[in-house]
Amino acid sequence: MKLIVGLGNPGRRYLETRHNVGFVVASKLITKVGASSAREKFNGELSEGLVDGEKVAVLCPMTFMNASGDSVRKAVDFYKIEPAGDDLLVICDDLNLPCGRLRIRRSGSAGGQKGLADVIRQLGTDQVPRLRIGIDRPPDHMEVVDYVLGKFEPENRDLIEQACDTAAVASLDWIRNGITQCMNRYNAEPKK
């Protein structure tokens, strides 16, 4: 059983915002795994499918970003998944990475990402595998919260769409081949 969690904020107001790239990747992944229609479970939207005979659950917490850990904790407990093992992957935005850049890691700090920080707090370990999608740093004159809740500039929309497509493929690769192979393949500088 694999559990993939896309972090974001629920509601129309937050569609297409930088903070919701985790939801975008989850949506693309749901299509790729032929998952069931989303149902409400674990304070989130849950879809289940199969990849090469492996059961996969895709969860989008509906708790708002800063409280994502509650939803993840409930799903981890229900599926009896070891947070620091090979069966959980959290997908989120990262303003410390250039726009469109992917970074997959086994563990580490939340790097200022409040949703990931709450997941780490709720699970009691920073050994949580994660796939981060770069959204760039905000301009000097802009507050971080306004930036992450804002929409991508027109010149970055194609880049972020491509990054989300690649992240969905990377998630499938993680299911099939594990995190080490994914780190080697997807952490490289993207080709221009």
pLDDT at 89 over 90: yes
Going from the N-terminus, what domains does the chain have, and what CATH number goes with each? 2-186 (3.40.50.1470)
User: CB under 8 Å to 13, separation ≥6 — which residues?
Assistant: none
Mean pLDDT of 38-55: 95
pLDDT at 181 over 60: yes
pLDDT in tens, 99-145: 999 999 999 999 999 999 999 999 999 999 999 999 999 999 999 99
Catalytic position from the list 19, 73, 114, 132? 19
What is the identity of the amino acid at 152?
A: F
pLDDT at 190 over 70: no
User: CB under 8 Å to 77, separation ≥6 — which residues?
Assistant: none
CA distance 51 to 102: 22
CA distance 102 to 122: 25
In the residue annotation, 19 being an active-site residue is answered as yes
The residues pairing with 89 across neighbouring beta strands, listed in sequence order, are 4
User: CB under 8 Å to 66, separation ≥6 — which residues?
Assistant: 114, 115, 118
pTM of the model: 0.96
CA distance 60 to 68: 9
Closest C-alpha among 27, 14, 28, 5 to residue 148:
14
